[in-house]
Amino acid sequence: MKLTVAAQPKNVIRKFQLLLFPEQDAKLFYKMFFSRWFLWRVVMLFLTNLYKFGSHWSDSQKEAKLQQLKNDRIKKIWDYMYHQQGKEIKRLMDSAYIKSGQAE
């Protein structure tokens, strides 16, 4: 009897599953998945902040360079005017220079 039952064709059950997480060792999988996820979040945050810092630093450097060029130009103009004028203008320029130093 047993041989007859075993020899008969059996119904095949087809089962379709879409598993997002494994059935075995789920704890280990969660630990690995979320630790990597957290690590990637930290890395991305670091890179984002590094990019922001770099762009801010670059903008600050450009602004400082432009300000320095402006100050150099003003200094050259001041020296040129000072050496080209007479005593009266030099006194006025000296008093303006002293007053500007007191204002700071």
Residue written as token pair 């200094």: 75
Residues belonging to the chain: 104
Angle at 24 between CA 19 and CA 27, to 5 degrees: 100
Predicted model pTM = 0.51
Give tens-digit pLDDT for 28-45.
878 878 888 899 999 999
**Cα distance between residue 38 and residue 41, in whole Å:** 5
Token duo for residue 12 = 């095949």
Give tens-digit pLDDT for 74-91.
889 888 888 888 888 888
What pLDDT does residue 102 have? 65
The end-to-end CA distance of the chain, in Å, is 111
